[in-house]
């Protein structure tokens, strides 16, 4: 990969032929990392799971018995996996296409021209140009540097910018916070330093998800329960029906274990996240980490930057106020010369738009702007050094211009000071003697939707904090314009750096000005130390550190690449007003997955109670697998799929797993006891008790059908009772009932009724339902439903939402 190297001083860069040769040799900047799964990984994740393995083994055993009808759960298993694969693949294609359109790019010199290419297309020996906000895409040696400063926190853990002159080695994984430079790519892709020493640090990592963590905990518990219940189920069924043949043991045992498997829970949880991400792309929001959709719904404080968030981000030059004996024309010339910079920041770009570069101003040296020092400079041959920056940084204490600058800032304008000195500045150290030349004002347009967005967050009890590098008075004026109660704006330079002081300031303050990137990061950590869930928005490279540490980082689509790279969400059109949409999607995901998880866990609890009780009283398991397939499909499978994708406006409440356990487990226990009671009562009333069940009612298979329909009645009664209890659970979890939810439940009840009415369905499911049995089973089911209602009304387990 390192053969046929080109001279590093070649200014024209690589030729097209040389690029093609390196691509052929694989000397490209690709390390094989992805932010989504491949088709093969999607297939394995949806098919090769421990629960699918359990169900697959049971399906094979049931098929060996010849009871094809009882293998119906195998078809459901295949359908579930197929839906999961198809939905995830379609979502992956949409998200990957959008991610590709917003992938990071790099400036390279090829064939003597500066071009922009995707970062993954950088090749070995490329001549790369770096500017403020760029990520360093490869390792190499600087050929030129114009005040280049890098943030190397990813490699060293230190957040202070590091200056790099020509000749220094720089490494991938860092980002440019000031200046510009060019270097030759000497190591790319897997050979780059950051990938060699810390491959794990570059992998796609997920935001913490309470939902996924809780579901994983449930699955772990259920796995251990199955491991204990399986031998108990086999033993009990062998004792009650073993002498009728191994087929009876297999079928009844399979029915119990099938009831313990939450076959659709993982599928629906994953689909809820994926489809929410796809839905948000329609609102110009790129979800770079799927759990971030849920994460924003848990956020209780949003930290904003003023520029680009409350304002549209496009600042405009307004006017100058000369100081002393300076003339407006001279001030305009100096500003135009400073703005004539290929690495101009947003402020200089705005100045340059209104003031053209003058003739006769030749730049000989300069210091680039950083958020930390808040000024930049340029030295021009024969015209001295000119500085542009924050008045409170450049002006001496007691200077009368400070009062005028504060007055202008209080009106919401961005105010800068233009100053001059005779010294040539080549290091970021202010000269002792500066002559103020003019105050420069710029204006920003407040976003028309900012007031409404902030009002929405206030209604949702989400606190707002504004961190800006601008003058606190300027920030406060803009905040008031969008309806915030700002109180007393805080100058961050006056704050102590210790955690307790920051926590105290954040508890009372809303607007913070003159905030450095390090302070933004410290503010986020202080809020988290108070137990807050923090979202941080930003667009500049100075926001990257805070975004990385926040629970949810939100970057603007026109922001620096380094900022977008660490964000969980990217607002592609830069509109802050999309955040309520993300919050709504997060609430929908959390609320709906909670509903779905309750349904599945209630079924698991019911099956466990039925298994244990049947073993204790020496009864056959109350159901055949086909019975549980019917109940699961109509009361859990189909409704859960629809509910998981439906609207839900319930506010986030912590304790996802605790609430599920408090409602689903007791409800499942009630259902299991009601089923056993129905089974025993029906068998004794209709002459099919424990003593003669085995002699009259053998195994029901395709080759050995039971013709005595009285043998069908205990299972029929148990199924009716279970359907009633689970439809009650479904109605509880669907509240408040909307028309579409009521129609869904009614449709499922109608299908369930057909299974007992249609002759072909009765034969298939082995149902025999005389009127007295129906009323008895309905009564037991309704009694169970009333107990479920009482459980729901307990404050600890009560659910609400849309």
Which positions are annotated as active-site residues?
305
Distance between CA 405 and CA 394 in Å, rounded? 12
Sequence-separated (6 or more) residues with CB below 8 Å from residue 261 = 51, 54, 55, 222, 226, 604
Residue ranges of alpha helices (H) inside 654-797 are 656-685, 690-696, 713-733, 739-757, 759-765, 771-793
Distance between CA 614 and CA 412 in Å, rounded? 75
Q: Which of 544, 357, 338, 360 is nearest to 425 (CA)?
A: 338
Distance between CA 519 and CA 703 in Å, rounded? 77
Q: Give CA separation, 54 vs 214, 314, 621, in Å.
A: 22, 59, 19
Beta strands in 166-325 (DSSP E): 169-170, 175-187, 285-287, 301-304, 316-322
Q: How many helices and strands in the chain, by DSSP H and E?
A: 30, 21
Q: Is 461 left (phi over 0), alpha (psi -120 to 50) or beta?
A: left
Beta strands in 136-227 (DSSP E): 139-151, 162-163, 169-170, 175-187
Q: Which of 159, 182, 158, 179 is nearest to 108 (CA)?
A: 182
Distance between CA 312 and CA 478 in Å, rounded? 12
Distance between CA 560 and CA 135 in Å, rounded? 9
Report DSSP state, residue 514.
S
Q: Which strands, in side-by-side order, build the sheet including 414-421?
A: 316-322, 435-443, 414-421, 384-389, 375-380, 363-367
Sequence-separated (6 or more) residues with CB below 8 Å from residue 720 = 678, 756, 769, 773, 774, 777, 778, 781
């Amino acid at each position: 990969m390192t053969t046929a190297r080109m001279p590093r001083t070649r200014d024209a860069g690589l030729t097209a032929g040389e690029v093609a040769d390196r691509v052929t040799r694989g000397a490209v900047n690709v390390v094989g990392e992805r932010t989504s799964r491949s088709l093969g990984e999607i297939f394995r994740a949806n098919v090769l799971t421990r629960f699918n393995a359990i169900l697959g083994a049971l399906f094979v055993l049931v098929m060996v018995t010849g009871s094809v009808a009882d293998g119906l759960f195998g078809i459901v298993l295949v359908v579930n996996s197929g839906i999961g694969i198809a939905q995830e693949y379609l979502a992956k294609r949409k998200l990957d296409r959008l991610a590709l359109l917003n992938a990071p790019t790099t400036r390279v010199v090829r064939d003597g021209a500066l071009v922009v290419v995707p970062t993954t297309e950088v090749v070995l020996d490329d001549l790369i140009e770096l500017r403020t906000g760029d990520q360093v895409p490869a390792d190499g040696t600087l050929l030129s540097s114009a005040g280049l400063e890098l943030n190397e926190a990813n490699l060293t853990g230190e957040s202070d910018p590091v200056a790099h002159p020509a000749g220094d080695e720089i490494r991938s994984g860092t980002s440019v916070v000031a200046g510009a430079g060019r270097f030759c790519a000497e190591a790319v892709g897997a050979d780059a330093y950051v990938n060699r020493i810390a491959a794990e640090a570059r992998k796609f990592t997920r935001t913490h998800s309470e939902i996924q963590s809780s579901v994983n905990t449930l699955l772990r518990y259920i796995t251990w329960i199955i491991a204990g219940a399986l031998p108990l189920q086999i033993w009990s069924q062998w004792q009650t029906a073993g002498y009728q043949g191994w087929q009876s043991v297999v079928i009844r045992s399979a029915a119990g274990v099938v009831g313990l498997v939450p076959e659709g829970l993982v599928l629906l949880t994953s689909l809820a996240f994926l489809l929410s991400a796809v839905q948000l792309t329609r609102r110009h929001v790129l979800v770079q980490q799927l759990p971030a959709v849920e994460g924003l719904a848990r956020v209780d404080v949003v930290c904003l930057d003023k520029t680009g968030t409350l304002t549209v981000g496009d600042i405009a030059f307004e006017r100058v106020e000369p100081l002393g004996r300076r003339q407006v024309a001279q001030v305009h010339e100096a500003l135009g010369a400073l703005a004539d910079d290929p690495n101009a920041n947003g402020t200089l770009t705005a100045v340059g738009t209104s003031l053209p570069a003058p003739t006769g101003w030749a730049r000989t040296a300069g210091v680039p702007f950083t958020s930390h020092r808040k000024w930049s400079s340029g030295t021009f041959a024969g015209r001295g050094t000119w500085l542009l920056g924050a008045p409170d940084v450049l002006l001496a204490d007691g200077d009368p211009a400070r009062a005028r600058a504060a007055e202008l800032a209080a009106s919401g304008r961005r105010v800068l000071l233009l100053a001059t000195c005779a010294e040539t500045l080549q290091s970021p150290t202010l000269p002792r003697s500066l002559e103020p030349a003019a105050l420069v004002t710029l204006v920003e347009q407040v976003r028309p939707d900012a007031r409404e967005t902030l009002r929405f967050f206030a209604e949702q009890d989400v606190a707002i904090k504004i961190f800006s590098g601008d003058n606190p008075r300027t920030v406060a004026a803009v905040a008031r314009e969008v309806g915030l109660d700002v109180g007393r704006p805080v100058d961050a330079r006056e704050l102590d750096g210790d955690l307790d002081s920051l926590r105290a300031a954040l508890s009372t303050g809303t607007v913070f000005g003159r905030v450095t990137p390090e302070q933004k990061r410290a503010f986020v950590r202080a809020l988290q130390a108070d137990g807050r869930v923090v979202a941080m928005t930003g667009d500049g490279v100075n926001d990257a550190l805070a975004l990385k540490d926040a629970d949810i980082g939100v970057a603007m689509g026109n922001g620096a690449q380094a900022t977008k790279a660490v964000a969980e969400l990217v607002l592609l059109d830069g509109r802050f007003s999309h955040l309520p949409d993300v919050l709504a999607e997060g609430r929908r995901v959390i609320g709906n997955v909670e509903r779905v998880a309750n349904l599945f866990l209630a079924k698991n609890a019911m099956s466990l109670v039925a298994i244990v009780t049947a073993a204790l009283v020496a009864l056959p398991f109350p159901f055949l697998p086909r019975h549980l397939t019917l109940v699961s499909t109509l009361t859990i499978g189909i409704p859960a799929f629809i509910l998981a994708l439906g609207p839900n406006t319930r506010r986030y409440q912590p304790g996802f797993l605790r609430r599920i356990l408090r409602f689903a487990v007791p409800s499942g226990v009630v259902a299991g006891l009601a089923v056993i009671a129905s089974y025993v009562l029906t068998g004794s009333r209709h002459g099919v008790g424990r003593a003669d069940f085995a002699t009259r009612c053998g195994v029901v298979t395709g080759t050995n059908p039971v013709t005595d329909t009285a043998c069908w009645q205990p299972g029929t009664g148990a199924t009716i009772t279970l359907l009633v209890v689970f439809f009650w659970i479904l109605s509880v979890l669907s509240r408040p009932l909307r028309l579409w939810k009521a129609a869904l439940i009614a449709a499922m009840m109608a299908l369930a009724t057909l299974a007992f009415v249609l002759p072909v369905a009765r034969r298939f499911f082995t149902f025999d339902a005389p009127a007295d049995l129906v009323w008895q089973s309905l009564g037991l089911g309704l009694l169970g439903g009333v107990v479920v209602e009482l459980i729901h009304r307990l404050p600890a387990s009560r659910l609400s939402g849309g």
